[in-house]
Structures are given as structure tokens and as C-alpha cells.
Structure 1
Amino acid sequence: MEQTKALNAQQPYLALTKSATAPRAAADLVTQATSNPNTYVFAELLQTPQIQALGQSADYAAYLQLLEIFSYGTFAGYHAAGSTLPQLNAAQTLKLRQLSLLTLARDPHNLSYANLQRDLGLPDARAVEDLVISAIYADLVEAQLDPRNQTVHVSSVSPLRDLAPNSIPSVLGALRAWSGRCTSTLADLEAQVAAIRNAAAQRQAEQRAWEETQERLAEEAKNNGGGNNGDDQQQRTSGGGGVHGRGQSRVLENAINRLRGQRSVKRGSGSLDASHDEDEAMDVDEEEPDDGEGGSTRGGLGGGKQRASRRKL
């Protein structure tokens, strides 16, 4: 936007060069163009035949040199030329300092207050700050003042400086170096992205393997638990796996518990005589067989008499 505005401001002076056939008229045109506060590019004006003809005039050749300084030179270069160049008015002085600031801003090391004061011919730090502020308001630079550190921080510079003669090879070299740095940076970024993707894929594979292991272990635990439950159910269905049925087992358990209870009572009372054991014995009647005589009995009062015997269980 700034470059378009500067090019539009140069157009009236390009039109006036057609009538500036005399060296004095061409010199006056140079003074007017460099004094205009909106004109910052001079390459087209410098290449016109009328302005180039000033180099053939002994009285006005300095105006051609002055326009070259405004096009791609600096304020320090103007002072280095000495008194051979025309005297600058206030508007020209301010503009040349502003254009010189654009050139110096390419190197951040040149932006200390001391360097700017020396290269721009300024009397003190306050003049440096005023110049930078004027350049900011003219949309020439985007910068911030740092009075504490006595430096200027420039973030962007308007492309309003013309190229000096034979400067294209150096510019191409700088652009190739910049392109090489960009290519190297992109390669490094691609390598980092590939490494991040590989690490993410490895973590995903490890996570998948861990989940599969957990599922396999859970399935094995489920299968083992299900087999034990089936055996328990089978044992409960078959009545404990013994040779007796459920009812027979209960009868035997009750008889054993009763006998154990009776023996415990005897141990507690201390009575171990045979008569006490006989009282606790179970009476079982057994039928004595006939001795072959009808109606005769052995030691009894009639035929078919039974003899009672005791059997101790």
C-alpha cells in the first residue's frame, strides 16, 4: 500500500520531465521531487533521459548525484560527498534521514540510539526518538522505542528503497541463502513430524497389545471359574459324591452324633463299669432254632420259647 502511494506521488514529476529539456529545469524537478513528503521512490524518475542528461552538465551534475542518494543512498553517504552536493532544505533532510532509517533497519545491530545518532547526523537521543516516531506515522516502519536500553525494535520495513546499480547479484545470493535456510527448516520439521507419528504409532500398538493381553487373561479367569462352579454343582446334585443317598447319610450322621454324645457323658461321669455298659447296650431278640422235639424247649416254660441275648454295640 505504501509503495503504491509512493509510485502515484511520483507520476506528476515523470510527466514534467518531458518538458524539462534544459538542465536547470531538470535540476529544479529533482529538488521538487525530493522535497515532496509523499515521494519515497525515485527509480523511474532517475532513469528518464532528461535527468540522466544532468550528468553531462558541469553546473548541475550534482543534482543527478543527489537524486541517486535519495534513491538508494544514505544520509551518511551524503555527508561523505562533502560540499559538492546541493544544500538540503528541511523537508529533504527529514526525508533522507527517514529513507536512511529504512536501510539501517535491515540490520538490528544498527538500531541503537548511539548508532542512529551518528549515522543520521542527529544531535541527541530525543532527536532519534522524534525521527523514529515520524517514520512510524508515515507508515515507513513498524517499530517500538526502548529508552531504557537505548535501542529501537523494528518489526517491519516498507519496501520503498530502490536497488543500487550492480546490487542484483548480492540480492540473489541473499535470496538463495534464505531459500536454503527455509528448505533446511522444512526438512527438520518433516523429520520431527515423522518421529512424532512413529512414536504415536508405537504407543498405539503397545496399547492394543496390552488390551489384548488383558482380554485374554480375563477370558482365562472366566473359563477357570466356570469349570469349578460346574464341579461344585455336580457334587451338590449327586449328594456329595458318597455311596449313600442323602436320606441315608442323614440317618448315619444322627446315629454317630448320638453315640458320640453318650460317650462324652460317660467320660464326664467317670463310670466305666460293665453293668453301666450293659444298660446302654441295645437289646436284640434272636429266635432260637428248634432242637428237633415238638413242643420241647431248652430252659424255658413252653415250646417255641425265645432266648434273649444281649449284644453290645
Structure 2
Amino acid sequence: MEQTKALNALEPFVALTKSASAPRAAADLVTQATSNQNTYVFAELLQTPQIQALSQSPDYAPHLKLLEIFSHGTYADYTSTPNLPPLNPAQTLKLRQLSLLTLARDPQHNLTYYALQQQLDLNDARAVEDLVISAVYAGLLEAQLDPRNGVVHVSSVSPLRDLAPDSIPAMLGSLQTWSGRCTSTLADLDAQIAAIRADAARRHTDKKAWDMAQAALMDAEKNGGGGNGGAGGGRGGEQQQQGAHTRGQAGILNRAITHMQQQGQQRFGKRGSGSLEPGQDDDEAMDLDEEEPDDGEGGGSGAVAGGPGKKRISRRKL
């Protein structure tokens, strides 16, 4: 949007070059275009035949050089080039803004207050802050001032500078380097993705094989280890287990199942016992109180002396 606005602001001056046949008129167009507050790109004006013809005029050739500096140069280029036309206040502010834009685009430049004072010929830190604020309001960049550390932090820069004639090869080299880094990064990512997928497939295969082995062991235990039904049956079950897995794995599984069975017998195999200790006998005695019929109702020889209706207490061993 800023670039379109700057191009639209330059169009009237490009149209006026058609009638600027004299070198003086072309030089005046250069002064007017560089003083306008909305013009920041000048490549189209610089390429017109009337402006290029200023190079043939000894008196107005410096105006052509001045326009080139506004197009792709900096304020330091202006101060280091002799015999250039003097700048009015509007031109001075604009050239410093454009120079700040160029410095902010290059990460090698130091954007401290002191460095900007030296590069832009500013008197103090307050002048640096005023210049940065004017550039932000003009839409040239987005930045924050850090007066405590004396640094300008730039977050984004607008594309409002023309390319120098000799900058295209360097830019192509930078783009090729960046493209190579992107290609290398994408290749590394593809290799990592392939390794992750291969590892996931291997884990899936291992889990499936483990599940099948466990199922085979359980089937072998059910078919061949269901009881002591003869040496042949036990031997056949052992062969099935060993066919599914190694002897060591079958032995571990058998010992685990035997241990679980023993634990189950110790806990739930003794219905009449309140103890869980494994050393107690299965025929543990329990005292029960039972009622026997009275002698008067057909009691036998086992009646207790004491008369009818008495109850005899007996102990039964379970």
C-alpha cells in the first residue's frame, strides 16, 4: 500500500518531464519531486530521457547525482560527494528517513543512538528519536525506542527504496543461499519424518508379534497343560509351547500360572477356614452346636441324664 501511494505521488512529476526540454526545467523537477512529502521511490523519474540528459550539462549534472542518492543512496553518500546542490529542510528530512530505512534493512548496521547520529549527521539523541518517530508516522518502518539502552528496535521495514544498479547480482546470490538453506532444511525434515514413520511401523510389528506370541502361549497352555493326563499329553503340550516360543519362555509362563493357581488355592480353597496360612490341614476341626431330639420323642440310647426336653451338645469334626 505504501509503495502504491509513493508511485501515485511520483506520477505527476514523471508526466511533467515530457515538457521539460531545458536542463534547468528538469533540475527543478528533481528538486520538487525530492521535496514532496509523499514521494519515496524515484526510479521511474530517474529513467526518463530528460532527467538522464542532465548528465550532459555541467551545471545541472549534480542534480542527476542528487536524484540517484535519493533513489538508492544514503545521507552519508550525500555528505561524502562534493559539489551537490544544497538541501532544503524537506529534502534533508526525507533523505535522513530514507537512509534510516536502508540502515534498518541491513542487519549488519548498528542501530544505536550514537551510530545513527554519526551516520545521519544528527546533533543529539533527541534528534534521533524525532527522526525515528517521523519515519514511523510516515509508514516507512515499525520501531520502538529504547532510551535507557540507547537503541532503536526495528520490527518491520516498508519496501520503499529503489534498487541500485549493481545490487541485483548480490541480491540473487542472497536469494540462492536462502533457497539452498530451505532445500537442506526440507530434506532434513523429510528424513526425520521417514525415520519416525519407520520406527512407528517397527513398534507396530513388534507389538503384533508379541500379541500373537502371547495368544499362542495361552492356546498351548490350554491344549497341552490342562492336567496330568499322561506323559504323552504333557509332552505334547510342552512341544506346542516350545514351538510357539523358546523353552525358557514356556517355563516362565508355566511357573507363573502354577504360582497363580497356588495363590488361588491358598486364598479361596478352604471354605471353612478363616485363616489364610498355607500350613493348616484341610480337615480342621470346627465346633458346632446341634440340637438332638428329646428322649420323650423317641430318643435313643444316647440321651443325656437329666430328663426329657434336654438338649445334648455334641462336637462334630469337620
Distance (whole Å) between structure 1 residues aligned to residue 179 and residue 172 of structure 2? 10
The equivalent of 1:60 in structure 2 is 60
The equivalent of 2:51 in structure 1 is 51
The equivalent of 2:177 in structure 1 is 177
| Residues 139 and 205 of structure 1, relative CA distance in 2, 3 Å threshold | farther
User: 1:152 aligns to what SS in structure 2?
Assistant: strand
Cα shift readout 1:184-205 (whole Å, capped 9, x = no counterpart): 1221222222222222222222
| Residues 201 and 128 of structure 1, relative CA distance in 2, 3 Å threshold | farther
| Residues 223 and 151 of structure 1, relative CA distance in 2, 3 Å threshold | farther
Alignment of 1:1-313 (within 5 A): 1-82=1-82, 84-110=83-109, 111-223=111-223, 227-228=226-227
Percent sequence identity over aligned pairs: 72
Distance (whole Å) between structure 2 residues aligned to residue 113 and residue 219 of structure 1? 82
| Residues 178 and 228 of structure 1, relative CA distance in 2, 3 Å threshold | same
The equivalent of 1:237 in structure 2 is none
The equivalent of 2:281 in structure 1 is none
AA matched with 1:7: L
The equivalent of 1:245 in structure 2 is none
Cα shift readout 1:122-165 (whole Å, capped 9, x = no counterpart): 22223222222222222212333333433223232222211212
TM-superposed deviation, 1:222: 4.5
User: 1:17 aligns to what SS in structure 2?
Assistant: helix
TM-superposed deviation, 1:36: 0.9
Distance (whole Å) between structure 1 residues aligned to residue 26 and residue 175 of structure 2? 37
AA matched with 1:99: L
| Residues 158 and 224 of structure 1, relative CA distance in 2, 3 Å threshold | same
| Residues 197 and 149 of structure 1, relative CA distance in 2, 3 Å threshold | farther
Distance (whole Å) between structure 2 residues aligned to residue 117 and residue 210 of structure 1? 73
**TM-score of the pair, normalised by structure 2:** 0.66
| Residues 215 and 159 of structure 1, relative CA distance in 2, 3 Å threshold | same
TM-superposed deviation, 1:229: 11
| Residues 218 and 36 of structure 1, relative CA distance in 2, 3 Å threshold | farther
The equivalent of 1:240 in structure 2 is none
TM-superposed deviation, 1:216: 3.3
Distance (whole Å) between structure 2 residues aligned to residue 148 and residue 202 of structure 1? 58
Distance (whole Å) between structure 2 residues aligned to residue 195 and residue 126 of structure 1? 57
Cα shift readout 1:9-41 (whole Å, capped 9, x = no counterpart): 110001111111112211111111111111111
Unmatched segments (≥5 aa) in structure 2: 231-318
TM-superposed deviation, 1:48: 0.8
Distance (whole Å) between structure 1 residues aligned to residue 213 and residue 146 of structure 2? 63
TM-superposed deviation, 1:116: 1.6
| Residues 208 and 112 of structure 1, relative CA distance in 2, 3 Å threshold | farther
Distance (whole Å) between structure 2 residues aligned to residue 17 and residue 123 of structure 1? 37
Distance (whole Å) between structure 2 residues aligned to residue 158 and residue 171 of structure 1? 17
Distance (whole Å) between structure 1 residues aligned to residue 80 and residue 35 of structure 2? 21
Cα shift readout 1:203-248 (whole Å, capped 9, x = no counterpart): 22233233333333444445467x34999xxxxxxxxxxxxxxxxx
Cα shift readout 1:40-96 (whole Å, capped 9, x = no counterpart): 1101101111111111222211111110000010000000014x1111112111111
**TM-score of the pair, normalised by structure 1:** 0.67
Unmatched segments (≥5 aa) in structure 1: 232-313
